[in-house]
Homo-oligomer: A and B are copies of this chain.
Amino acid sequence: MVSLGSMKDNQVLLAFSTYATIVVVKMMLMSLWTSYFRLTRKVFANLEDTKLFSSTVDKKLVGVNPDVERVRRCHQNDLENVIPFVLIGLLYALTGPELSTALLHFRLFAGSRIFHTIAYVGALPQPSRGLGFFVGFGVTLSMAWTVFRTAFTH
């Protein structure tokens, strides 16, 4: 039986908090990476942002750049995968899994998403990125299955 009474007394919840925060912060850093590429490639999404580089607003600085779009696709893939992990992972942590099993799930997910980011932004040959994606996807489905099983047997 699991208690969420205090995070400090629940090893699985403490472990979940650590890994969930790691992957969410990693996801947030994609925003800064996009900004960095926008500034160095001088390609903006909003007219008012171009004033950072010219005395007047400059329509030529609004556009699409392949490096920026690649980081944005990676960010979007994080939104589509990291958020489900955190939502289902919290419910999973409340089902009272073994700490070792839970740690395996959390570490595999965090590792696979960091690898996915490197493979995506570095444009590594496939199936590198696909592998990173499917390992993370599988971990979340495995936790979802445990949540279902717990809900239907109680």
Q: A residues bordering B, Cβ < 8 Å? A: 1-8, 13-15, 17-18, 20-21, 24-25, 27-28, 30-31, 45-49, 51-52, 70, 73, 75, 79-81, 83-84, 86-88, 90-91, 94-96, 120, 123-126, 129, 133, 137, 140-141, 144, 147-148, 150-152, 154
User: CB within 8 A of A84: which of B28, B51, B90?
Assistant: B28
Whether A18 pairs with B126 at a CB distance below 8 angstroms is no
Given A46-B73, A75-B80, A126-B49, residue A141 in contact with residue B25 (CB < 8 A): yes
**Number of copies of chain A assembled together:** 3
Given A84-B27, A86-B87, A154-B14, residue A125 in contact with residue B46 (CB < 8 A): no
Whether A84 pairs with B24 at a CB distance below 8 angstroms is yes
Residues of chain B within 8 A of A25, CB atoms compared: 84, 88, 141, 144
Given A20-B87, A25-B144, A80-B31, residue A123 in contact with residue B75 (CB < 8 A): no
Whether A125 pairs with B51 at a CB distance below 8 angstroms is yes
Assembly CA distance A30 to B80 (angstroms): 9
